Amino acid sequence: MTDHALIKRLPELSDRDFSIWQELLEERLGLQLPEQRRSFLKTSLAIRMRELGYDNYLDYYRYVRKGDAGLIEWNMLIDRVTVQETRFYRDPAAFTLARDFLHKRARENQRPLALWSVGCSTGEEAYSLAMLTLEELRRDGANPQRRFGVTGTDVSLQALEAARRGSYSSRRVENMDKRLVERYFDTDGLGYAVKFEVRDRVCFTRLNVLELSRSPMKDLDLIYCQNVLIYFRKWRRKEIVSELARRLAPGGLLILGLGEVVDWKLPELTRVPGERVLAYLKRK
Ligand SMILES: C[S@@+](CC[C@H](N)C(=O)[O-])C[C@H]1O[C@@H](n2cnc3c(N)ncnc32)[C@H](O)[C@@H]1O
Q: Confirm if 134 and 183 have CB atoms less than 8 A apart.
A: no
pTM: 0.94
Q: Does 3-81 carry CATH code 1.10.155.10? A: yes
30 touches ligand 1 (CB under 6 Å): yes
163 touches ligand 1 (CB under 6 Å): no
The residue type of 167 is S
128 touches ligand 1 (CB under 6 Å): no
> What confidence tens digit (pLDDT) does each residue in 223-247 have?
999 999 999 999 999 999 999 999 9
Three-state SS at 117: strand
- Per-residue pLDDT, 7: 54
- Per-residue pLDDT, 110: 82
> Ligand 1 pocket: which of 155, 175, 223 to mutate (most atoms <8 Å of CB)?
155
Please tell me the residue having the least CA distance from ligand 1 atom 25.
Answer: 156
Region class of 36: left (phi > 0), else alpha (psi between -120 and 50), else beta: alpha
- Per-residue pLDDT, 8: 57
Cα 79-82-83 angle, rounded to 5 deg: 115
Quick one: CA torsion of 272, 276, 277, 278, rounded to 10 degrees?
Answer: 80
Q: Which residues, given as ranges, of the chain have pLDDT below 70?
A: 1-10, 140-146
Contacts of 164 (CB under 8 A, 6+ apart): 123, 204
Rounded distance from Cα 257 to ligand 1 centre (Å): 12
Residue ranges of the domains in the chain? 3-81, 92-282
> What confidence tens digit (pLDDT) does each residue in 16-66 have?
999 999 999 999 999 999 999 999 999 999 989 989 999 899 999 999 999
- Per-residue pLDDT, 145: 62
Rounded distance from Cα 108 to ligand 1 centre (Å): 32
229 touches ligand 1 (CB under 6 Å): no
Rounded distance from Cα 78 to ligand 1 centre (Å): 11
Cα gap 249→281, rounded to integer Å: 10
151 touches ligand 1 (CB under 6 Å): no
- Per-residue pLDDT, 188: 87
* CATH code that applies to domain 92-282: 3.40.50.150
Cα gap 263→267, rounded to integer Å: 13
Rounded distance from Cα 20 to ligand 1 centre (Å): 22
